[in-house]
Structure 1
Amino acid sequence: MFRHISIVDSALTAIDQHVAAHPPERGGGLLGPLGMPLITSFLPDPDGVSPTATFRFSAAFQRALTRVELVEPDLELKGIVHSHTEGAEHPSAADLVAFADCLRLTPWLGRYVTPIVTRQNQRTEDHHVLLPNGVMAVFVSTPTTLGAVEVRPARVQILPIGRDCARLAATLGASVSTPRTADVEGVVHIAVALRTESLVLTLLFPLLYPTQAPIALAVRTVDHHHRILPLPLTWDLTVAAGSRLVRALDTVADLSW
């Protein structure tokens, strides 16, 4: 049986840069909104290796995680990702002990997302995510009544928010903020702000993106006065997914006020 996890593509980029591009064992923490099977960011832990070469969070990581949770209290630790040597894509016996320890310390989570990164160059299973420098095999670990953990593969939905915002930013000549979670009438969205000298475009992406359109809010500053305008997007599903956001914003004349 598969579990299902959603992950923002910018988190995958960070995992590739901080884990897959380095020799094993490297890793870090997966973060996302409270109570949801969604990963929005990755917090690396380059010091997280025990004397037995089994990845465990370092004291420095724990301090960094505390700082993140103070700034963004709606985020929680979803799990741990780390790398193995090529061909060892499943959690080791030592990993299972570490996962069980983590779940005992955070029983309210109920499960841990526990991917393993290896140096491969092709995706061969449904629970594999291909990275530029390897493959991430995604698993979910849940505690058993005997105090151990059960590990199952997880299908992954990748939200291409970083990719599409970068393309839009290149069109607008804008900078792009780090994705954050936002509550819209009780529903979690992923918020990204694109900024130019006179315009802030805030995009609130639903979890069904890119099938479902984001909410777009434009804020333009003129003579120290702010004008806020929700933008009506035409979301054409016949347009290729990677071009859909730029095409939708191209049709909004109000971006030129």
Structure 2
Amino acid sequence: MSGVFRHVSLVDSVLTSIDRHVAAHPPERGGGLLGPLGLPLITAFLPDPDAISTATTFRISPAFRRALTRIEETEPDLELKGIVHSHAKGAEHPSVDDLAAFTDCLRLTPWLGRYVTPIVTHQNQRTRDHQVLLPHGLLSVFVSVPTPLGTVEVRPARVQILPVGRDCTSLATTLGTSASTPRTADVEGVVHVTVVMRTAGLELTLLFPLLYPTQAPIVLAERTDEFDSGRSTLLDRFGIDHRHHRILPLPLTWDLTVPAESRLARALHAAPDPVW
């Protein structure tokens, strides 16, 4: 299995959701991993609290299948990338029963070509590159692909975490606003992870490339009809003149010598004032 085919990018808010719905509970629990069509990117987690499970087995529920169908109908740009579920401590690899389930899934969805099949265990130490520490456990990320023999080959994934949730939450706290749930948007044929922040008088749209935080995001500022100069702390922060209603990009200086967790806030604070 090639390194490219094993690559998996996850938005960090997905990890937060997996931790809350899966890792923070006894095994076995789980749910679905969703992302934009045709890309090795996971942007959402759909939990399955009604799954058919015991301490050693996990099967997705009819309710989960119905919820997934609704998502696919309302958001046709999203697809199921795979299933994550939890095991007992020490069982970080998919079981024999898991492999049979993966084989069935790939037989039913051959257009996917692969399944992302992470396992959550209650451990607090990361020992391999395909593992990610969570507040309540360990996520071991695998990619499963069908073989010509009708079986499934499972390999450790090459994992990339996009710290969009971390950085947007920090920025929103600083600006006294809140951040939307990450989604995806196509920018001239290239998929970006999108987050929106709103406050009185201003809306910021942040478009994060898949190479973030090495690569800078696109940040668009738009005036809204809610403007009130006496209460718009975000407008004050950027020193924006609100005389005209326009959408403008904020030019960013992206300094790779700044620590990654501070890079976004530093770039926005240093951005020159747009001319509306």
Letter in 2 for 1:122: Q
Question: What TM-score, normalized to structure 1?
Answer: 0.95
- The CA distance in 2 between the partners of 1:223 and 1:45, in whole Å, is 39
Following superposition, the deviation at residue 202 of structure 1 comes to 0.2
Instruction: Report the counterpart of residue 248 of structure 1 in structure 2.
Output: 267
Letter in 2 for 1:100: T
User: Which of 41, 48, 63 in structure 2 is aligned with 1:45?
Assistant: 48
- The CA distance in 2 between the partners of 1:43 and 1:223, in whole Å, is 34
Give the percent of matched residue pairs that are identical in Structure 1 and Structure 2: 76
Letter in 1 for 2:260: A
Superposed CA RMSD in Å reads 1.8
| 1:232 is the counterpart of 2:235 | no
Residue ranges of structure 1 left out of the alignment (5+ in a row): none
Task: Report 1:9-88 matches (<5 A).
Answer: 9-50=12-53, 53-88=56-91
Instruction: Report the counterpart of residue 177 of structure 1 in structure 2.
Output: 180
> Does the 8 Å CA contact 2:251/2:272 hold for their aligned counterparts?
no
Following superposition, the deviation at residue 49 of structure 1 comes to 2.2
Larger radius of gyration: 2
Letter in 2 for 1:57: I
Following superposition, the deviation at residue 69 of structure 1 comes to 1.7
Letter in 2 for 1:155: R
Q: Deviations over 1:186-235 (max 9, x none)?
A: 00101100111211100000000000000000011247874211110111
Q: Number of matched residues?
A: 257
> Does the 8 Å CA contact 1:25/1:49 hold for their aligned counterparts?
no
Letter in 2 for 1:243: S
- The CA distance in 2 between the partners of 1:108 and 1:223, in whole Å, is 46
- The CA distance in 2 between the partners of 1:254 and 1:71, in whole Å, is 38
Question: What TM-score, normalized to structure 2?
Answer: 0.89
> Does the 8 Å CA contact 1:221/1:227 hold for their aligned counterparts?
no
- The CA distance in 2 between the partners of 1:40 and 1:99, in whole Å, is 21
| Moved >4 Å (runs of 4+) | 50-53, 222-225
Following superposition, the deviation at residue 105 of structure 1 comes to 1.0
User: Which of 109, 115, 127 in structure 2 is aligned with 1:106?
Assistant: 109
User: What secondary structure is seen at the aligned counterpart in 1 of 2:103?
Assistant: helix
Residue range with higher mean Cα deviation, 74-83 or 171-180:
171-180
Letter in 1 for 2:254: W
